[in-house]
Structure 1
Amino acid sequence: MSSSSAKGTQDRPAHHEANGKGFVNPWPSFHRNGYSDIFRMMFEFDRSRSKVTKETKLPTVLDLNMPLINTFSQPKQGAEEGARGDKVSTTWLGHACFLLQLEGVNILFDPVFSDRCSPSQWAGPKRITPPPCKLNELPRIDIVVISHNHYDHLDLTTIQKLQKDHNPYFYVPLGNKAWFNSIGIKEKVRECDWWDEHEHSFHDNKSNVKVICTPCQHFTGRSMTDHYKTLWASWVVETIPKQASEKKTKVFFGGDTGYRYVPKGAEEDAMPHCPAFKEIGDRVGPFDLSMIPIGAYSPRWFMSPIHCSPEDAVRLHEDIGSKRSVGMHWGTWVLTDEDVTEPPKRLEAAMKKRGHDPATFNTVQIGETLVVDA
């Protein structure tokens, strides 16, 4: 039986609390930080490393390539469709937000367009780079996928405007539907447990996609009293071939995740790693395109259970069998104390160290559209 589907007390999945009132990371690769850890982390937090100055070389913010994006918003027209061919595109909109386009379906992951990722726009982490566009400049949005309920991934103002302007389907992990209902979104919200699947048809059945909720290693909470009460997830989107001869296009979105807990002084490669990603690769991979977090990893001993370092991200890229990956979860807000320009540099070094072509897993500029063969 797989690690993420193993049954626990009262015949619940291993990632469900025995009392049914929350969720856990059921692997030795995870460590739940306590209040003493939080106090220690705040004491050790080195703000000088993450300070942004006029000399800091932040990601470039590009204008969206709307002709290209609009091209990918259309359904495939068969073999004669021309230059687009069997390709998939993703546009980085900052942090963990991507516009994925496949089969003419527009899917938005973890959209946050507010200035601060916080309960209030008066306080909390403020953007160091702006979004590349306004929400009303996006093309039609068919599906919105949410990885978990932290403020840098789930934003009230953004969700309300998307619902008003686009009326998309919302995919959320278990426990999050109540939040959507509380803000007036009561229809088209699909709440999922790990390994739940849903199929969609668009454009008069010309475009068919499957959305799969998959495991990852993280936690949730929008206050000090609701940690671990709702589920967190990574996600897979794949096309549904209309003929047996057609190939599936498969895309992985990592959401927010750790890979292994590394206490101070421990040898990283000796620590157990999260088995969920190898399981994802075995069950639904390999992937044509993946979006994997590479930032917010320091202090390492505190952040390692919940956030990937660039070195962890490369291992995750390997585990899921990704042909082409792009780094995310960096360059938008200062959430931790590493140099905000460091993640891409360490990612390139880690790819070379593991014997990979760095061009197969790198970063793009904010607003840049990456097009890959599927």
Structure 2
Amino acid sequence: MPTYQGPVSDHFNGTHFFDPDGVAPKRLGDVWRWQRTRKPAKWPAWQPSSYADTPPQRVNGTAARFSFVGHASWLIQAGGLNILVDPVWSQRASPFKLLGPKRVNDPGIAFEALPPIDVVLVSHGHYDHLDLATLSRLTTKFSPRVITPLGNDLTMQAFDRKIRAEAFDWGDRIDLGGGVAVNLVATRHWTARGLFDRNKALWASFVLETPAGKIYAVGDSGYGTGAHFRRVREQHGELRLALLPIGAYEPRWFMRDQHMNPDDAVKALSDCGAQQALAHHHGTFQLTDEPIDEPAQGLTTALDAAGVARNTFVALKPGQVFEI
């Protein structure tokens, strides 16, 4: 598999990417310790959502529509464009067809019900965000632009040369047309597809500029000191809405540097200053040890403790829709 080659920067040393404000991923010994000692909550084999969305073909004007597909996958419709974020329609978030985390509910939009997809945003290379089979299906049906951080394009095109992958660095701004643009911003995370390619590609979150306002789409992130979220506020100004992860956080000794829990996510909302937030990264794939319903319940508790109105930060179920 070819790997990214490019100039050294403040977050690339010539072979590996790093976050100057973050921490290195856990060592393999820590992974083994977690696997050896973990006591995961038992998830149901199947917990379907009672919702299913059939989106309109387009959303124009100053409106925006957010459809929760499940886990970290969203359909954003704004400015006449249809944008998928971290689309996963596969049954497993895994390199294997018969092993690894298996979804416990169907995608909130049936693949056949998708409107014409113009753009796909892929935040990083972990299997629950970069799903090659889904990207190939989308390419065959819609041939969208695929915007991703540096190095992930090589993974995509090695699988399917027809995937229209375009790779960018933190700080880059890409015009998508229709008065919509996307900015890649630093996030507190890491990436890998296997045991020997850690951080050989970049990871990012996205700030979308749309006629409905700016939308901050965070794929995966730890909280840290909150600096990443405050920096987005400083650099990009008022945010209309943020998509923030709230799940895959236990045990904290292992996960806190890479995944937020609900308390962290509420602090991140305050730091980034978005008017509204929608939660994700919960309830579809069991990646870590907390119970399936704990993130959504914990979000309510965290909002109450912080004195934030519950309708300011909402956890949807797959197939539910939020409109502005």
Q: Same fold (TM over 0.5)?
A: yes
AA in 2 matched with 1:22:
H
Do the aligned residues in 1 keep the contact of 2:132 with 2:156 (CA within 8 Å)?
Answer: no
Q: 1:75 aligns with which of 52, 60, 63?
A: 60
Give the equivalent residue in structure 2 for 1:62. 51
1:137 matched to 2:113: yes
Q: How many residues were matched structurally?
A: 319
The change in CA–CA distance for 1:61 and 1:231 in structure 2 (over 3 A counts) is: farther
Do the aligned residues in 2 keep the contact of 1:174 with 1:230 (CA within 8 Å)?
Answer: yes
Do the aligned residues in 2 keep the contact of 1:90 with 1:100 (CA within 8 Å)?
Answer: yes
1:257 matched to 2:257: no
Q: Find the aligned partners of 2:160 and 2:24 in 1 and give their Cα distance.
A: 36
Q: Find the aligned partners of 2:69 and 2:50 in 1 and give their Cα distance.
A: 9
1:370 matched to 2:322: yes
Shift of 1:24: 1.0
Q: Per-residue displacement from partner, 1:228-287 (whole Å, max 9, x unpaired)? A: 1100100011126xxxxxxx6110100111112xxxxxxxxxxxx141110011111321
Shift of 1:315: 1.1
Shift of 1:74: 4.4
Give the equivalent residue in structure 1 for 2:10. 14
Give the equivalent residue in structure 2 for 1:52. 43
AA in 2 matched with 1:46:
K
Give the equivalent residue in structure 2 for 1:39. 32
Give the equivalent residue in structure 2 for 1:26. 20
Do the aligned residues in 2 keep the contact of 1:91 with 1:99 (CA within 8 Å)?
Answer: yes
Shift of 1:166: 0.5
Q: Which moved more, 1:302-311 or 1:176-185?
A: 176-185
- Secondary structure at the aligned position of 2:146 is classed as strand
Do the aligned residues in 1 keep the contact of 2:59 with 2:77 (CA within 8 Å)?
Answer: no
Normalization by structure 2: what TM-score?
0.93
Give the equivalent residue in structure 1 for 2:136. 160
Shift of 1:171: 0.3
Structure 1 runs (4+) greater than 3 angstroms displaced: 184-188
Do the aligned residues in 1 keep the contact of 2:223 with 2:256 (CA within 8 Å)?
Answer: yes
Shift of 1:59: 6.6
Q: Find the aligned partners of 1:187 and 1:139 in 2 and give their Cα distance.
A: 18
AA in 1 matched with 2:10:
A
The change in CA–CA distance for 1:33 and 1:299 in structure 2 (over 3 A counts) is: same
The correspondence of residues 309-324 of structure 1 with structure 2, limited to 5 A, is 309-324=261-276
Q: Find the aligned partners of 1:232 and 1:92 in 2 and give their Cα distance.
A: 22
1:171 matched to 2:147: yes
Give the equivalent residue in structure 2 for 1:268. none
Shift of 1:366: 0.7
Give the equivalent residue in structure 2 for 1:245. none
- Secondary structure at the aligned position of 2:206 is classed as strand
Do the aligned residues in 1 keep the contact of 2:25 with 2:190 (CA within 8 Å)?
Answer: no
Give the equivalent residue in structure 2 for 1:3. none
- Secondary structure at the aligned position of 1:112 is classed as coil
- Secondary structure at the aligned position of 1:93 is classed as strand
Q: Find the aligned partners of 2:147 and 2:42 in 1 and give their Cα distance.
A: 35
Structure exhibiting the larger radius of gyration computed from Cα positions: 1
Do the aligned residues in 1 keep the contact of 2:151 with 2:202 (CA within 8 Å)?
Answer: yes
AA in 2 matched with 1:235:
F
Give the equivalent residue in structure 1 for 2:67. 91
1:347 matched to 2:279: no
Unpaired runs of at least 5, structure 1: 1-10, 77-85, 202-206, 241-247, 261-272
1:356 matched to 2:308: yes
Shift of 1:12: 4.1
Shift of 1:137: 1.6
- Secondary structure at the aligned position of 1:144 is classed as strand
The change in CA–CA distance for 1:366 and 1:170 in structure 2 (over 3 A counts) is: same
Q: What is the RMSD of the two structures over their aligned residues, measured on CA atoms? A: 1.9
AA in 2 matched with 1:99:
L
The change in CA–CA distance for 1:304 and 1:337 in structure 2 (over 3 A counts) is: same
The change in CA–CA distance for 1:251 and 1:59 in structure 2 (over 3 A counts) is: farther
Q: Find the aligned partners of 2:155 and 2:32 in 1 and give their Cα distance.
A: 30
AA in 2 matched with 1:309:
N
Shift of 1:128: 1.2
